[in-house]
Amino acid sequence: MKMQLSEIARALEIQDVPDAWNDIEVNNVHFDSRKLLPGSLFVPLKGERDGHTFIKNAVDAGAVATLWSKDQAELPDGIPALVVDDPLQALQTLAHYYLDKINPKVVAITGSNGKTTTKDMTAAILASQFNVVKTEANFNNEIGVPMTILGMNSNTEILVVELGMDRPGQLDFLSKIVQPDTAVITMIGEAHIEFFKTRDRIADAKMEITHGLKEDGVFIYNGDEPLLTERAKEVEADQFTFGMQSSNQLYASNIEGNDVETSFSINLDADKRFEIPMIGQYNVTNALAAIAVSQNYHIKLDDAVKALKHFDLTKNRTEWLDGRKGERILSDVYNSNPTAVKLVLASLAKTETKGRRIAVLGDMLELGEQAQSMHEGLKDSLDPNEIEEVFLVGQEMNNLYKALDGKYDESHLHYYQASELNHLSSDLENLITADDIVLLKASHGIHLETVVNELTKN
């Protein structure tokens, strides 16, 4: 972004702006003083530590202005300060203003599983014809969404934004910030069931993505999910469904896969063959969502085929890596829930290997009262004849450990506390051979990425 400080002040309805602010250009916005670039607007947020205390670091990093909460006793020295009631709210207001100014088409994506992969696939296809900006990393909440918007260049034609949620009302708020032209729901699973209690309530919360949908917008959703098809009847916008069932407007057939890619055909043109560099039928569903979006923007199917074959996937989402012993590692350690674990285990069981299939599973968080039963419920997805070694990490995975007792003998079933990742890494390193495949899957709070780093470092 590029805006004069005086324009930012007007967007925030700040009165009596000094003339000198007309000469100050802001070309970046950030809330982390360690990541500021010269020419930035610093946004001091209050979290575990108050961002206002890092103003000197921000100035030293090249910040040219700062938002400043009016409840602070003194203004900062040596830098223009835009005094606001709440810096976070001001960040959101500024993002809303900038979005209206650039006026791209907005594709908003949510879902219990697959929203990040779908976002990456969608952006890749749309980029074949348009200037596209997409959500980076996990910037999908009240802070991350405004940051994504403010990261757009002036020539952005389509913004592909991922919207996350962990409570009712959150998607309502985010949807009204981004005002999508296209709203997408990938699926309804058990993620965050600790807070919502039932999948019905999760579906209600996911449907909030339509609350900011423009009048001429399109709602695209997984038509295989009865919870969505039922609720979609209440949405007045145009609709388009995708899924595996032939009742959908877009569906897949002739799905084939190996250990590195999956191919499929679609009903819109059975002669075209799509390939994605990922394993699992569930990722075909994500690809269908992306293709559905692309059809709404009149992308040729040939361009979609090319884009999906080599799209850039966000790190640690079913990402194949090479271990230092030569083993192949499937890293999927950003988030986890029962549906996702069962799907990736099913794919692992079908993956060909000369060695063993080894599953490293960490706690699935935010399952609340159902945590024990849902961890135990993974038992049926693990077969010693298909997945020979199982390593379990975390307090909740102890429930699965007990459930697998007898199904796996003690030499092939291993359990660790979440604080024992170094021990886990060492044991894996001693066990693994070059012919093995290792899956690592857990909620981010377990930090299995540290184990991935140990297994892959040179």
Q: Which CATH number fits the domain that encloses residue 68?
A: 3.40.1390.10
Q: Are residues 122 and 7 in the same domain?
A: no
| Amino acid in position 309 | K
Do 195 and 64 belong together in one domain? no
Q: Is residue 92 part of a domain?
A: no
d(CA 160, CA 301) in angstroms, rounded, equals: 19
Q: Is 253 exposed, middle or buried (0-12, 13-18, 19+ CB in 10 A)?
A: exposed
38 and 57 in contact (C-beta within 8 Å)? no
Q: Are residues 285 and 429 in the same domain?
A: no
251 and 161 part of one domain: yes
3-state SS, residue 292: helix
Show which of 279, 309, 339 is a domain's final residue.
309
pLDDT at 195: 65
Per residue in 396-416, pLDDT (tens digit) is 999 999 999 999 999 999 999
**Orientation angle between helical segments 338-350 and 281-296, nearest 10 degrees:** 110
- Interval 47-83: pLDDT, tens: 889 999 999 999 999 999 999 999 998 999 889 999 9
Q: Is residue 93 part of a domain?
A: no
Annotated binding-site ranges = 111-117
Neighbour count for residue 267 (Cβ, 10 Å): 12
CATH number, position 433: 3.90.190.20
| Pair 274, 305: CB distance under 8 Å | yes
Let me know if residue 97 belongs to a domain.
no
Position 192 scores a pLDDT of 57
Length of the chain: 458
Pair (44, 116) in one structural domain: no
Q: Specify whether 139 is located in the same domain as 32.
A: no
Annotation: binding site for ATP? 111-117
**Domains in the chain: how many in total?**
3
314 domain-assigned: no
Q: Whole domain around residue 68: which residue ranges?
A: 3-85
Distance CA 131, CA 101 (A): 16
Q: What DSSP letter does each residue of 337-389 carry, written as one string? A: -HHHHHHHHHHHHHS--SS-EEEEEE---S-GGGHHHHHHGGGGG--TTT--E
254 & 279 share domain: yes
In a domain, 95, yes or no: no
Q: Which residue has the tokens 């930090």?
A: 447
Decide which of 251, 283, 309 is a domain's last residue.
309
Give me the pLDDT at residue 100, please: 97
Asked whether residue 11 is assigned to any structural domain, the reply reads: yes
- Asked if the structure places residue 41 within a domain, the reply is yes
Q: Answer with the one of 50, 85, 120 that is the final residue of a domain.
A: 85
Tell me, yes or no, whether 256 and 111 share the same domain.
Answer: yes
Residues 162 and 240 in one domain: yes
- What pLDDT score does 380 carry? 96
From first to last of its 458 residues, the chain has per-residue pLDDT tens of: 999 999 999 999 999 899 999 999 999 999 999 999 999 999 999 988 999 999 999 999 999 999 999 999 899 988 999 999 999 999 999 999 999 999 999 999 999 888 999 999 999 999 999 999 999 987 999 999 999 999 999 999 999 999 999 889 999 999 999 999 999 999 987 665 556 678 899 999 999 999 999 999 999 999 999 999 999 999 999 999 999 999 999 999 999 988 788 999 999 999 999 999 988 888 999 999 999 999 999 999 999 999 999 998 877 677 889 999 999 999 988 888 898 899 899 989 988 899 999 999 999 988 888 899 999 999 999 999 999 999 999 999 999 999 999 999 999 999 999 999 999 999 999 999 999 999 999 998 999 999 999 999 87
Strand partners, 125: none
